[in-house]
Amino acid sequence: MVQEEACSLPLPPGPLMTKSESVLSPVRLSVRSPADEEGVHDSFQQLIAEHRDNGAASSALELQQLQSDLDEENRDNMPLSGPEHEHRRRQGASDLECDGGEREMDPIQGEGWSSDTLKILSSMPSRTIGRNRGAIISQYCNKTLKLRRRRQTRPSIRDFSPSSRPSIRSYGMEGDTTDAEVSKRERLVNNLQNLPVSDRVRMLRGMPLSVAEKKEIRHVARSHRFFCVLFMFASWYSWLSFLHSLQPWQTLLKRVSGRFGTGVLSYFLFLKTLVFFNVFLFLVTGAFLVLPQAVHPPYRDTTSFSGLELLTGAGSFSHTVMYYGYYANYTLPRRSRDEGGGQNASTLTSDSQQFSYNMPLAYFFTIGMAFFITCIILVYSMSKTFGRSFRINKSNSILTMKTFSCWDFKVIKKKSVQIMSENIGTQLKELLAELTQKHTKSTFCKRFCRLMVHGVAWTICIASTTGCMAGVYYFSEFIHKVRLDGLSSPVCHKAKLLSLPTVVSVINLLLPALFNLVGWMETYESPSVFAYVAIGRNLMLKMSMLGVLCFHWLGRVCWEDFVGQELYRFLLMDFIFTLLDTLFGELLWRLFSEKVLKRKRKPVFDIARNVLDLIYGQTLAWLGVLFSPVLPVVQILKLFLVFYIKMSSVMLNCQAPRKPYRASQMTTIFITLLCIPSLLGASVCVTYTMWSITPSTSCGPFRTLDTMFKAGKHWMEILEKDNPSLSVLSKAHTYFVENPFFLFVGAGIFLIVIYFHSQVVDGQRKIISLLQDQIQNEGEDKKFLINRLQSVHKQKQDAGKRLKSQVNKPQSTKHRNFKPVWIKLEY
Amino acid sequence: FCGLLLTTAKYNLKLKTSTWELRRVNFRKSRSQNISAHKRFTELLEKHEKEQIDARVPIGRIITLPELKSNPFKERICQVFSTSEQKDGSLTFEDFLDLLSAFSDSATLEIKSHYAFRIFDFDDDGTLDCADLEKLVNCLTGETNDAKLSSTEMKQLISNILEESDIDKDGTVNLSEFQHVISRSPDFVSSFKIVL
């Protein structure tokens, strides 16, 4: 098997000739393709050598073939390998089709080419590089060699014999193989053995060979030195695969993707991501805040539990670990059962301080760290998806990319496959129509009209948003005043509490529908621009709502508790409205359109709007973590329920979106939206609260301090008193973190680095266009050489004909048509 | 029953070694998913074939799998991954695992684009020429008449594709040009997936 790739032995023509004759019939399965190992070489030299070797034998064959009857002179229709035969047949059939498009390109499949020319053409490395094992192995041999060159350091001169040439001394690898005829496969194995383990593993993984071959290569390449390292790798991967198998909802997600494709699946995957973020948040706050405080309750509460607490979040819930006001502002001692303890941190004795838990500090640092780590994870995933979906050379090969990558292999239901095929057909037709019509330039009047319409639409949107903002603000003031005034029955009181969240949720539901209506009357250049504009308007609405509410909430007595409760109510209302929207928007609309409007198509699942709703809910949760550490649990429960409700609704009521959905670009946008307005906004609010706002004096862990941040400073001062060497840290903090000059310098360096990277990207773009020109020139070279080969063959043919005619003249004068001479290359 | 136990034990042993090897080489997902692949494969075997170690399932039975049944490329997929001498598209269990690993999450873009190229190369000649592209587009748009492209549209589409992706201007798209196009399209990796 090792010899096959090197393949330098010309096989005798005799037996193969008979074999190929028996396989003459153009049955596709018996046709030889470049994937056949025997039929392909990986170097042109071998081809020429074989032709030379077989020259004598083949001319004998020519004389034999002279007697057989052929129809046309120019056709070499006695193929030995299938591709040429197929070429010929297709040539005749599809000539008309391809001619039109390829005339200016001067295609390389000319007419009347000999079989050997076509054979050479089909054996060229560019056509076999991905096909047979030999070519793949030789390609990876080169790759591993390059990798070794990069990884290996220069060997010292001492290791070389003095007679070796200076140019060889700088390449350490050539010293390895003294035997010049070692085969490519052994060289590949040798290269793999000398690579570090991680590179070897990566190379093996990327090779498009079958499993059996990879097993053999790996088996040979493995050296016992690294056995234990490999074992560690194996156990690490088995741990990863165990984690992967723990993934929830696998079968459900598979069903969704089987019916609807990647677009709808991305919504559910986004939901899953949010669940993981909330689980992380809950673990952190639960372990560091809720658990210690729950074990040491500061006081007992006597209000009883009535069912209404689940809706309002107030009542008996407000004196539990759920809210900020419950948390102690002193250091929790280890075994303390007294409930009336209201001691401040400074009065605790030293021995109880050793086992104690400083609650204010813990609160401050836990929330800060949780946000910081979430920020890092989000920015990292954002940069990864950004890199995947936005490339350097964003050229306009949309049609090609669509043709090659639009088929979604995950869709398995027959009906869905039919719908997908129809969609693809429609999209291709639309794209083609767009491309042909690109040249019409719109008149000035038309453009002006379009701009006017856009202006009107945007004015309507901004005006409605501002109006709603003002309305919400005044309504909340009104509600607050009513609450402080006379109180009617408790139920009415609770209803007043829920009124503001209801109003905000109604606005969040109705206004996007208005924006959609407004968007219909506008015309956009492409549907993706329309999608982005719709997302932008929706986002503007939601962020302004949240901004107004944040502004309204500051300045109450024990306002943190109140804010926490409000956020809980908002989350709950959001969930209830999602339920209602699913019910009315999807179920009832489908029934309505089927029965009343008699339409065959079900309503479309609006992915963008649903994802924005999820982002809005997550922003609420992040805003509320500071004031209610148990809020992530509520969010997790809500997400679980939303998952199952949306899943069943989608399966029953909806169909896949008709417009082309570019899943990875939209995922990038959603993760970016989760990071930039959502997490960043929440972090800014929380940071502002911690930094500058005075905590309320009657409740919570920071009640004696000026700002929450002072808890950290306080702790630093205590540490400094105990260990004077740590004063370096506090000096560093004063000079670096609080000094604006350092921040300016840091930002300046960042900008310079970004500028350099953008210059590098520009340079790479130029290089790409240069390389494309070079490849085009190489293509011209190739065509030239093939044409020359063909003309040489023709000359030989004519010379042979003339020779034969001189030989045959005395014998037979009947034959006017002289049989063409074939040159067969037998393998 | 004992016979069944024995064969399952034999298969388990072989499976253990082969999945251990496979995980090191291909890094497919978990062992449990390899076992589920094996379960699905043995469902396709006849009773007498279950005794053999290297049983081959003919193409007719492979394309009855629900994941492949409605796929217009199912025959090409079987042909590409088949290692049989007669080139009849039959698959052994190792070929089947090859197939699943090429379509899995952990396969690199290079492997996926390599196999996608081979699947789209209907005449197996190492390049995508006009006829291949035409067959590809007809598979994509399906068999119903209204979604199919007319001949002028088809010609225009193929000439556009060749203009955009044929860098050396030889009238065909070879593997490197195909991979160049695919590397710029971010949706390819997520759509070239089959989940068992």
CA distance B1 to chain A (A): 30
Model pLDDT, residue B120:
94
Model pLDDT, residue A156:
56
Percent of the residues in chain A that have a pLDDT greater than 70, as a whole number: 67
Model pLDDT, residue B159:
92
Distances (CA, A) of B126 to A129, A206, B129: 8, 20, 9
Kindly list the residues from chain A whose CB atom is less than 8 angstroms away from the CB atom of residue B182.
401, 404-405
Model pLDDT, residue A621:
92
The verdict on a CB contact (< 8 Å) between B185 and A772 is no
Angle CA B7–B10–B16, to nearest 5: 135
Model pLDDT, residue A766:
93
- If one compares A351 and A457, the residue with the highest pLDDT of the two is A457
Name, of A7-16, A155-164, A480-489, B185-194, the range with top average pLDDT.
B185-194
**What residue in A sits closest to B89 (Cα-Cα)?**
A29
Summarize pLDDT for A59-82 with one digit per residue, the tens. 444 444 443 433 333 344 333 333
CA distance B136 to chain A (A): 8
> Cβ-count burial of B154 within 10 angstroms (0-12 exposed, 13-18 middle, 19+ buried)?
buried
CB B7 within 8 Å of CB B50: yes
Angle CA A719–A724–A730, to nearest 5: 65
For range B54-62, the mean pLDDT: 86
3-state secondary structure A663-674: HHHHHHHHHHHH
What are the structure tokens assigned to A326, written together? 């419950």
Cα–Cα distance measured from residue A19 to residue A477, given in angstroms and rounded to the nearest whole number: 94
Model pLDDT, residue A20:
38
Query: B67 in helix, strand or coil?
Result: coil
Kindly list the residues from chain A whose CB atom is less than 8 angstroms away from the CB atom of residue B31.
238, 241
Query: A754 in helix, strand or coil?
Result: helix
For range A246-251, the mean pLDDT: 73
Cα–Cα distance measured from residue A399 to residue A436, given in angstroms and rounded to the nearest whole number: 13
Summarize pLDDT for A261-279 with one digit per residue, the tens. 777 888 898 999 999 999 9
The CA radius of gyration of chain B, in Å to the nearest whole number, is 19
Summarize pLDDT for A639-656 with one digit per residue, the tens. 999 999 999 988 887 776
Of A417, A424, A664, the CB nearest to B190: A664
User: 10 Å Cβ neighbour count for A705?
Assistant: 19
Cα–Cα distance measured from residue A801 to residue A786, given in angstroms and rounded to the nearest whole number: 22
The verdict on a CB contact (< 8 Å) between B191 and A408 is yes
CB A278 within 8 Å of CB A625: no
**What residue in B sits closest to A665 (Cα-Cα)?**
B186
For range A178-206, the mean pLDDT: 71
The verdict on a CB contact (< 8 Å) between B195 and A407 is no
- If one compares A61 and A431, the residue with the highest pLDDT of the two is A431
The verdict on a CB contact (< 8 Å) between B195 and A257 is yes
Summarize pLDDT for A687-710 with one digit per residue, the tens. 888 887 777 777 777 777 777 777
- If one compares B178 and A167, the residue with the highest pLDDT of the two is B178
Model pLDDT, residue A469:
92
Kindly list the residues from chain B whose CB atom is less than 8 angstroms away from the CB atom of residue A200.
none
Q: ipTM of the predicted structure?
A: 0.86
Q: Residues with Cβ < 8 Å from A782, sequence gap 6 or more?
A: A108, A124, B168, B170
Query: A604 in helix, strand or coil?
Result: strand
What is the amino acid identity at position A468?
C
| Res. A824 pLDDT band, cuts 50 70 90 | very low
For range A557-574, the mean pLDDT: 84
Q: Which residue has the tokens 């040439």?
A: A165
Cα–Cα distance measured from residue A468 to residue A353, given in angstroms and rounded to the nearest whole number: 52
Model pLDDT, residue B155:
92
Cα–Cα distance measured from residue A552 to residue A755, given in angstroms and rounded to the nearest whole number: 41
Cα–Cα distance measured from residue A2 to residue A667, given in angstroms and rounded to the nearest whole number: 47
3-state secondary structure A197-249: HHHHHHHHHHCCCCHHHHHHHHHHHCCHHHHHHHHHHHHHHHHHHHHHHCCCC
**What residue in B sits closest to A28 (Cα-Cα)?**
B123
Cα–Cα distance measured from residue A428 to residue A660, given in angstroms and rounded to the nearest whole number: 10
What residues 137-196 of chain B have any CB closer than 8 A to a CB of chain A? 137, 140-142, 144, 146-149, 151, 153-162, 164-172, 174-176, 178, 181-188, 190-195
| Res. A464 pLDDT band, cuts 50 70 90 | very high
- If one compares A551 and B10, the residue with the highest pLDDT of the two is A551
Cα–Cα distance measured from residue A401 to residue B165, given in angstroms and rounded to the nearest whole number: 9
**What residue in B sits closest to A396 (Cα-Cα)?**
B164
Across chain A, mean pLDDT equals 73
What are the structure tokens assigned to A472, written together? 């919400």
- Cβ of B63 under 8 Å from any chain A Cβ? no
**Per-residue pLDDT for A453 more than 80?**
yes
Of A34, A234, A262, the CB nearest to B24: A234
Kindly list the residues from chain B whose CB atom is less than 8 angstroms away from the CB atom of residue A428.
137, 140-141, 149, 153, 157
What are the structure tokens assigned to A250, written together? 């696998």
CB A42 within 8 Å of CB A128: yes
Model pLDDT, residue A272:
92
Model pLDDT, residue A440:
63
Of B26, B88, B176, the CB nearest to A29: B88
Kindly list the residues from chain B whose CB atom is less than 8 angstroms away from the CB atom of residue A215.
21, 25
**Per-residue pLDDT for A637 more than 80?**
yes
**Per-residue pLDDT for A760 more than 60?**
yes
- If one compares A67 and A131, the residue with the highest pLDDT of the two is A131
The verdict on a CB contact (< 8 Å) between B149 and A425 is yes
For range A158-187, the mean pLDDT: 54
DSSP characters over A467-489: HHHHHHHHHHHHHHHHHHS----
What are the structure tokens assigned to A430, written together? 């639309």
Cα–Cα distance measured from residue A36 to residue A603, given in angstroms and rounded to the nearest whole number: 51
Name, of A132-146, A373-387, B28-42, the range with top average pLDDT.
A373-387
Of A35, A218, A428, the CB nearest to B25: A218
**Per-residue pLDDT for A167 more than 70?**
no
What are the structure tokens assigned to A469, written together? 């903002």
For range B115-133, the mean pLDDT: 91
| Res. A27 pLDDT band, cuts 50 70 90 | very low
**What residue in B sits closest to A83 (Cα-Cα)?**
B125
- If one compares A560 and A37, the residue with the highest pLDDT of the two is A560
Summarize pLDDT for A308-364 with one digit per residue, the tens. 677 777 766 777 777 877 777 777 665 544 333 333 433 333 444 445 777 888 888
Query: Lowest mean pLDDT: which of A790-794, A814-818, B74-78, B97-101?
Result: A814-818
What are the structure tokens assigned to B52, written together? 């053999």
Cα–Cα distance measured from residue A83 to residue A315, given in angstroms and rounded to the nearest whole number: 82
**Per-residue pLDDT for A19 more than 50?**
no
**Per-residue pLDDT for A25 more than 70?**
no
Kindly list the residues from chain B whose CB atom is less than 8 angstroms away from the CB atom of residue A260.
none
CB A563 within 8 Å of CB A553: yes
The verdict on a CB contact (< 8 Å) between B101 and A414 is no
The verdict on a CB contact (< 8 Å) between B33 and A245 is yes
**H or E element in which residue A7 lies:** none
CA distance B7 to chain A (A): 23
Model pLDDT, residue A459:
93
- If one compares A44 and B97, the residue with the highest pLDDT of the two is B97
Model pLDDT, residue A87:
42
Model pLDDT, residue A556:
61
Model pLDDT, residue A793:
87
Kindly list the residues from chain A whose CB atom is less than 8 angstroms away from the CB atom of residue B93.
none
Query: Lowest mean pLDDT: which of A21-35, A185-199, A437-451, B9-23?
Result: A21-35
Query: Lowest mean pLDDT: which of A446-460, A806-820, B9-23?
Result: B9-23
Model pLDDT, residue A606:
80
Distances (CA, A) of B178 to A141, A401, B75, B184, B185: 22, 10, 21, 10, 11
**Per-residue pLDDT for A491 more than 50?**
yes
Summarize pLDDT for A654-692 with one digit per residue, the tens. 776 666 667 777 888 889 889 988 899 889 888 888 887
CB A191 within 8 Å of CB A144: yes
Which runs of consecutive H residues, i.e. helices, occur in A156-196?
166-169, 184-193
Of A28, A435, A780, the CB nearest to B160: A435
Model pLDDT, residue B134:
92
**Per-residue pLDDT for A237 more than 50?**
yes
Cα–Cα distance measured from residue A786 to residue A113, given in angstroms and rounded to the nearest whole number: 10
- If one compares A92 and B166, the residue with the highest pLDDT of the two is B166
Distances (CA, A) of A52 to A40, A64, A823: 17, 19, 11
Model pLDDT, residue B178:
92
For range A107-118, the mean pLDDT: 65
What residues 78-137 of chain B have any CB closer than 8 A to a CB of chain A? 83, 86-88, 94-95, 97-98, 101-103, 108, 110-111, 114-118, 120, 123-127, 129-131, 133-134, 136-137
| Res. B191 pLDDT band, cuts 50 70 90 | confident
Model pLDDT, residue B13:
53
Summarize pLDDT for A351-402 with one digit per residue, the tens. 444 457 778 888 888 998 999 999 999 999 888 888 777 665 555 678 888 8
